[in-house]
Structure 1
């Protein structure tokens, strides 16, 4: 069988794992590239990669590199290739083109030139030629442009290989299947499974990790259930060879299932959310693993060992994480609960935690013995590995006491840079704020990498928040720079140091960040677009006023006249104050916190609102929305800004905004009048609006219009949409 050249693509960061995997299929890796591996091998090896790769996205049979320094050279080079060996004259094709250069500046033009070259080669005297089919072509041609060369090949995969076929329901998917497989490999799951260990995902979501773990342990080919491949109608396809490989996969699947039964290996998944457990069960059934995988609704604190007298197993988890300061404390508690649960229930086991915020790992109370840098999509993340035993226990150290950092300047030149920047911003942003009748604004937001701070002005007082320093900055240097900033800020802004509050990260304890500093009770009044608000800079994780949502509140004020207004997850009721000031006929504001309900009532009273028409009630918004709306629960204008994540004990369930937003929006829309408007916002930086929302409603993203001058340096501070019923 002749030797062929392949380019096998994968998610960024998995290249070395993929290189090892390809060798097991009979391929010889030649060179790693970003998000892929070049390898030589037979057609059989290429078929095995398609059927068996747990890591690859696509397997591309490389045909040639052609000169692409100009569009004409590209066309000629493509035309010279023997397409009659690959594409039926009466068939169809699709071109996937990536890359650009000075001559070929967009992929659509590049794909068109490649298609033209193929068609020119194959067009018969009678005019017959292949057609273009973007959805179900006979052959998909891969064209990758890089540095004046175009790599041309046949995509043998069809759809991306990460699509195993078991996950078809709409909804948030925390991990792609091939990334889940990579985490299992990095965590050493194959060896643990061979020794008879069990698998557990205590935050299983849609079940991807536990399904991939079971498939790996049972030797089930990832592509075993796929019916359509990129090579099915390719002229070079060897149907007999492929049939033999499929039969081999079925034999191995039968033997693998028997081996797991004999070893009594068990696979468990649990989650607090009954809806995601239902989704996971459907995925497990589609994967054909309903008899092997056990799923149940369970809180982390109720974690228990499922089996006794067995070798240690693997617990692998991909926890959520919050964005706002007020969510970090809850999320820190979640990580601590996870650590306590595994230490109590799974002694001797291995624990893997895949997180986009690896500093949270310290809250588990275990010392990680290995860390792998990976990517979840484009987001940098880490897989932290732990052994659950006493030797790995992390000794807790007392946190720094906030406020005891002595202001001092050790580098005059660096301090002058910060001082000059603050004075410049005060002149420009401060002048703008005064003209806009704005008393509170963000003056500085990590403008300079040396000082990773957010500095907010509250009518003569200053609120400073310290961002986590990058790993390249050691703790001593970070504290030195913070002390320097504490010395510079009062001088640059012309305030007394007693009017500055600094909320300092507790670096030693990882997640115990922005803890409540004191019960000062120091509330004072600030103003915004004619409205007054009580704020507290010291006692709470946030101040009582989210400054980034100021334009949203002002919009509500200007459009609320005569409308019935609903404020969900209302916090301290600032949006309701603006609605009442704008002439809303009545309003209802809901929040789960007694503190915030009282705070919101005080804000409304401060602005002279009639509390009989503008009610604030303590309620779990998740539970309230799930109930059937009453006749008096129809609103013309709704504002919903949920937290990114919450698992408060006062809630009926867990809130994960990426997973749950489509349901929340649908429930809120049931309470919206036919011509009403829902303003939906959140500050999860990786948020993606579910396709079903745009399918069901009229949706307009207005994020850019909701950023005032002081937040335009941080365009990702929040996302915002206007949502209405379709007419």
Structure 2
């Protein structure tokens, strides 16, 4: 007997079959195989929740050509398996150079079976793809061999028959069962522990967990047996298995209703689908459903007293609205699970390719296929130590310096380039610059940006930002390079190792740019010209000051003296503060982030400037704020428009793509611009081109080169700055 398992769950299948049959079972790449009694085969067919298909091999041999395949099929005595007056169906997989089409493979096997039985009896079986008396399967491998088997299952066994409504992206039933086995549900249930799916969708995990305890009902079990016309059936053994109560995963299952199986979802349509499926499976009294949002109600009150249990879920990865949540929100949810379900086991199915790092430490990772896409299943146990607490940028730098000095990875080329750049940029420091870029991915093996800061307390700091390595790069090698570069930078530049931070600049989405990185908090004050600005080395992805824009800020300060400035997408409003210190009559700074607006207010306060008088900070979606039409008195002499390259923040009503949307943005700014005023438009999208409609309508002065600091001269294509005036 050969039994097919969902990919990645071959071991789980073999373990389940050993439990059901008490017989030795061998793991195979496709699932499991064993030499079983006919009673044991019926037990597998009737009660295995993880099995996909069950085959009885009947022949294996060479099949490099169509004639060889025919001869292989003809070598089987088909009268021992099928009456000539019955029906059959044939499926095929695989292929080779001569046998490329599965339809042709199935036809050659059919010809051999039909010809043999017709020659022996004068009659031939019918072909019936729906309800055949015998199901055959042929697999042809690329090396010129083929195998023939009788399929004893009635198609794929994942079809239990209870699924009334699949909901969105439903799990295959046997995949869910296999993951429950890998998540140790039998052991948890044997200890009296319950099960909780906090994002249950259409309820597949819930139903499969219940079936694993109390077995499948008789009607569900009977429909799983295929090939009813197979001559090898032993009716007494078959009926004895089918007539019993069914077997679950526990030798002594609990009474229904005594062990909590609880599902929760915030989508009422998903819960309606789950309810329909649970009722169809006959499990209405065994499973409870709750309408709640797990991010607001992570642990139902019904479970707070439970000493142990299993939390298992297929967490959404793109199909549903939870996907917009950021790293911090998932971390907060996991933290509340740890707090509310201490000692519980957990299993999470999630996307293998994801920008988010799962916040919990796990003890096992299994790759499986869900809907044809490879996903990962993680399992662990909630405890005080299970929540990941990643090293913050400052602590990470210390670890990397230690590792780099210990391992002595060859970074001589990086050291030489950094020393050369440092020598060239020292003149800028003498000219009063306190923030410089010393290195920007100059060498292909060291994809880093190294920024140098001199703070108001006369400390020199290094901010090292790693551009995330491609997935094909060995993570350990990438870590070794980063460690070597960090240690070399400290030694080459003579920096205090305690004044170094390291962050990874991965592609961000949604609101991730606003999320905190860790528990560290290191702030310093930097002087830019005659302005004091707050920089934060540890809490966020950026320090709060775009140092490549310092000459743009110089220009804005010059343009705004005695005038009114509007700063859109203001970030920490450093440009507004510079303008205010330089003598701007008034400034208005608009951004959607409370985090950065609070930061902006502190920047104003550092310079003795009060906000909400002549200088205002507004929290608003810039795209919507620009819709209002100002009076002449409300217009601005200078507008600074520096949008992100792309944003799909969930706080915004629309997405923003600067290449696509900049004509509309610029047009929307013009009603807010006073007569004779200037719009300074800037963005950092590589390869950006200004739309011809803007060039035709307005006077454009490209100042990209004029405002490019010397320390960024190596990458001029990364930024675009222009002044726009009415003709």
TM range (shorter): 0.5 to 0.7
Partner of 2:336: 341
The residue matched to 1:123 in structure 2 has which SS?
Answer: helix
Aligned to 2:235: 239
1:195-274 alignment runs, 5 A limit: 195-220=191-216, 224-227=220-223, 229-250=225-246, 259-261=254-256, 264-274=258-268
Q: Are positions 1:116 and 2:111 aligned together? A: yes
Matches of 2:622 and 2:50, distance apart in 1 = 44
Q: Does 1:376 align with 2:379?
A: no
Task: Tell whether the 8 Å contact from 1:80 to 1:121 is kept in structure 2 after alignment.
Answer: no
Contact 1:75-1:114 at 8 Å conserved across structures: yes
Q: Does 1:281 align with 2:306?
A: no
Alignment partner, residue 644 of structure 1: none
Per the alignment, residue 154 of structure 2 pairs with: 158
Q: Does 1:291 align with 2:316?
A: no
> Counterpart of 2:427?
none
For residue 100 of structure 1, what is the aligned residue in structure 2?
Answer: 95
Distance 2:572 2:126 in 1: 68
Query: What SS is found at the alignment partner of 1:390?
Result: coil
Work out whether residues 54 and 181 of structure 1, in 8 Å CA contact, stay in contact via their aligned partners in 2: yes
Shift of 1:241: 2.0
C-alpha contact 2:18 2:25 (8 A) present in aligned 1: no
Q: Tell me which of 56, 64, 67 is aligned to 2:62.
A: 67
Name the CA distance, whole Å, in 1 between partners of 2:129 and 2:223: 18
Measured in 2, the distance between the counterparts of 1:535 and 1:107 equals 61
Give 1:16 shift: 1.8
CA gap of 1:334–1:199, structure 2 versus 1, over 3 A, is same
State how far apart, in whole Å, the 2-side matches of 1:472 and 1:221 are.
49
What RMSD over aligned residues (CA atoms) do the two structures have, in Å? 5.1
Return the alpha-carbon distance in structure 1 between the equivalents of residues 570 and 144 of structure 2: 57
**1:132 Cα deviation after fit:** 1.9
> Unmatched 5+ residue regions in structure 2?
402-408, 418-440, 449-464, 490-502, 518-538, 553-566, 574-590, 592-620, 625-647, 672-727
Specify whether residues 181 and 115 from structure 1 end up closer, same or farther in structure 2 by C-alpha distance, changes over 3 A only: same
State which of 348, 352, 359 in structure 1 corresponds to 2:347: 352
Q: CA deviation at 1:69?
A: 2.6
Deviation (angstroms), 1:174: 4.0
- Residue 188 of structure 1 and its aligned partner are, at CA, apart by 1.3
- DSSP 3-state at the match of 1:383: strand
Tell me, in whole angstroms, the C-alpha distance in 1 between the residues paired with 2:160 and 2:68: 39
Alignment of 1:468-507 (within 5 A): 469=471, 472-474=474-476, 476-477=479-480, 479=482, 503-504=505-506
Task: Show structure 1 runs of 5+ residues with no match.
Answer: 1-5, 417-445, 454-462, 487-500, 525-533, 545-569, 574-589, 612-727
Instruction: Confirm whether residue 136 of structure 1 aligns to residue 131 of structure 2.
Output: yes
Alignment correspondent of 2:190: 194
Name the CA distance, whole Å, in 2 between partners of 1:539 and 1:225: 65
Paired residues, number: 496
For residues 104 and 381 of structure 1, the distance between their equivalents in structure 2, rounded to whole angstroms, comes to 32
- Larger gyration radius, structure 1 or structure 2: 2
Does structure 1 conserve the Cα–Cα contact (< 8 Å) formed by 2:446 and 2:482? no
CA contact (8 A) 2:86 2:125 kept: yes
After superposition, give the CA deviation of every residue in 1:316-348 in whole Å (9 maximum; x if it has no partner).
Answer: 122123599x99872424422331221232122
Q: How many angstroms apart in 2 are the aligned matches of 1:236 and 1:166?
A: 30
Superposed displacement of residue 597, structure 1: 7.8
Q: Cα distance, 1:261 vs. partner?
A: 3.7
TM (normalized to structure 1)?
Answer: 0.58
Q: Deviations over 1:471-528 (max 9, x none)?
A: 83225236369999x9xxxxxxxxxxxxxx993479xx9997896536669799xxxx
Contact 1:96–1:111 (CA<8 Å) still a contact in 2? Answer: yes
How far 1:412 sits from its partner (Å)?
Answer: 5.4
Question: Residues 30 and 39 of structure 1 are in contact (CA less than 8 Å); yes or no, is this contact kept in structure 2?
Answer: yes
3-state secondary structure, aligned to 2:391: coil
- Residue 387 of structure 1 corresponds to 381
| CA shift for structure 1 position 60 | 0.3
- For the residue of structure 2 that corresponds to 1:289, the secondary structure is coil
